[in-house]
């Protein structure tokens, strides 16, 4: 635990009452949740626009399966660490919990046009 916080909490409790510190802590948690909701709202807008575009992969090469707003990407790096996006379990759970980031691709076969 960070030293000094206990004395600050005690002095705030003495000055403003018993519930002040708990209310302050809840306010900080609510702000974090609000920021997450704003990021996810932006992500939903991007997902809706991306769905209108044609997404194609040629024989599975370079197939795009997820589209994220940079703020969402960096939020999860800050929350879970740099390697979270390299973890297949994290990506699978993220897609499960946030279906709007999934990009639906249609396979396209390679075709050669002969003159």
pLDDT tens digits, one per residue of 39-53:
777 777 777 766 665
Distance CA 21, CA 12 (A): 7
Please report whether residue 4 resides in a domain: no
Q: 67, 101 in Cβ contact below 8 A?
A: yes
> Which residue range is the domain that position 45 belongs to?
18-108
Band (pLDDT 50/70/90 cuts) for residue 11 is: confident
Mean pLDDT, rounded, of the chain: 77
As for how many domains the chain has, the answer is: 1
Please report whether residue 10 resides in a domain: no
Stronger pLDDT, 48 or 85, i.e. the higher one: 85
Stronger pLDDT, 6 or 3, i.e. the higher one: 6
Q: What is the pLDDT of residue 1?
A: 46
């Amino acid at each position: 635990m960070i030293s000094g916080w206990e004395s600050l909490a005690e002095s705030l409790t003495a000055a403003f009452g018993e519930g002040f510190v708990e209310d302050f802590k809840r306010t900080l948690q609510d702000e974090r949740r609000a920021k997450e909701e704003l990021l996810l709202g932006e992500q939903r807008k991007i997902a809706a626009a991306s769905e209108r575009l044609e997404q194609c992969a040629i024989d599975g090469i370079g197939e795009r399966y997820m589209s994220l707003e940079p703020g969402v990407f960096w939020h999860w790096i800050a929350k879970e660490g740099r390697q979270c996006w390299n973890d297949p379990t994290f990506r699978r759970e993220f897609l499960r919990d946030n279906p709007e980031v999934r990009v639906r691709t249609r396979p396209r076969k390679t075709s050669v046009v002969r003159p």
